[in-house]
């Protein structure tokens, strides 16, 4: 199992154990008859193709390093292209998950309207939701970190750059400057990829269980 697959699996397990049950138990998710829009599987398939491109470039990088070379001597154009594809793919998964939140969360329960709510605001309102006993059901910082709000904001507003080491770099909302190398950036991709896969599977199992097997068979790029 690759590092990507391991991180993907761990993030799926975390979502299924710690996030989705809370959403269900507090009636925060509603049934959306148009959950799986006809274009969504096609978009997800395109993202899978981008991930294949990422893997091929990372294999070249690994071969280069395994042959005793250093990162500085690797083809800079391939390295920057790899970063570009990683960020594009991440942004694609964030867009899918944002649509899931907007279309499947009962926004009235978190004191929001349908007027184009932003990803960060939905996550914030979820973290402030209180159950019937008045207790918070999510930890604000934990939910914000797991859903990677800073990364989503950076990609949505195109606020990143390459530093002198060709690393993906951006400024978090609190002003902290963060840089990710290729391996770390791939881990960030695995995180949001896992959330989309886990949400899709568990949502369909909960609200459309009769069609689950068929959908999983027809759209493997959206189920894990």
Q: Please determine, for residue 114, whether its predicted confidence score (pLDDT) is greater than 80.
A: no
In a domain, 121, yes or no: yes
- Return the pLDDT at 38: 86
Residue 13 reports pLDDT greater than 90: yes
| Structural domain contains residue 28 | no
The answer to whether residue 206 sits within a structural domain is: yes
Indicate the DSSP class of residue 29: B
For residue 196, pLDDT beyond 80: yes
Q: What digits encode the pLDDT tens for the residues 24-61?
A: 999 999 999 888 888 999 999 999 999 999 999 999 99
Q: How many Cβ atoms are within 10 Å of 142's Cβ, its own excluded?
A: 12
| pLDDT the model gives residue 130 | 96
- On whether residue 30 sits in a domain, the answer given is no
- Per-residue pLDDT at 115: 76
Neighbours of 56 (CB within 10 A): 10
| Range(s) of the domain holding residue 13 | 3-23+38-222
Higher per-residue confidence, 15 vs 172: 15
54 within some domain: yes
- Considering its fold, how many domains does the chain have in total? 1
Comparing CA positions, the residue from 101, 85, 115 lying closest to residue 23 is 101
Task: Report the pLDDT averaged over residues 80-89.
Answer: 97
Flag the least confident range among 110-114, 136-140, 196-200. 110-114
* pLDDT, tens digit (0-9, with 9 covering 90-100), for 149-194: 999 999 999 999 999 999 999 998 889 999 999 999 999 999 999 9
Helices (H) and strands (E) in the chain, counts: 9, 3
Bridge-based pairing of strands 160-162 and 168-171 is antiparallel
In a domain? residue 31? no
DSSP string computed for 74-130? S-HHHHHHHHHHHHHHHHHHHHHHHHHHHHHB-GGGGT--SS---HHHHHHHHHT-B
d(CA 143, CA 62): 33
The confidence score (pLDDT) of residue 116 equals: 66
């Amino acid at each position: 199992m690759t590092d990507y697959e391991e991180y993907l699996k761990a993030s799926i397990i975390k979502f299924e154990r710690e996030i989705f049950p809370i959403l269900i138990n507090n009636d925060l998710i509603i049934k959306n008859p148009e959950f799986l829009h006809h274009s969504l599987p096609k978009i997800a398939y395109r993202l899978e193709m981008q991930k294949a491109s990422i893997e091929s470039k990372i294999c070249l990088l690994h071969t280069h390093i395994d042959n005793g070379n250093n990162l500085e001597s690797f083809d800079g154009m391939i390295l920057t292209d790899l970063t570009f594809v990683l960020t594009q793919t991440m942004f694609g998964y964030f867009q899918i998950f944002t649509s899931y939140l907007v279309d499947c969360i009962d926004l009235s329960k978190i004191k929001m309207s349908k007027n184009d709510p932003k990803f960060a605001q939905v996550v914030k309102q979820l973290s402030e939701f209180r159950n019937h006993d008045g207790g918070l059901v999510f930890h604000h910082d934990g939910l914000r970190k797991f859903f990677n709000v800073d990364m989503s904001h950076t990609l949505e507003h195109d606020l990143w750059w390459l530093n002198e080491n060709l690393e993906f770099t951006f400024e978090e909302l609190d002003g902290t400057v963060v840089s990710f190398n290729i391996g770390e950036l791939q881990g960030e991709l695995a995180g949001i990829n896992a959330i989309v896969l886990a949400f899709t599977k568990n949502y369909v199992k909960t609200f459309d269980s009769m069609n689950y097997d068929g959908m999983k068979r027809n759209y493997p790029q959206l189920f894990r």
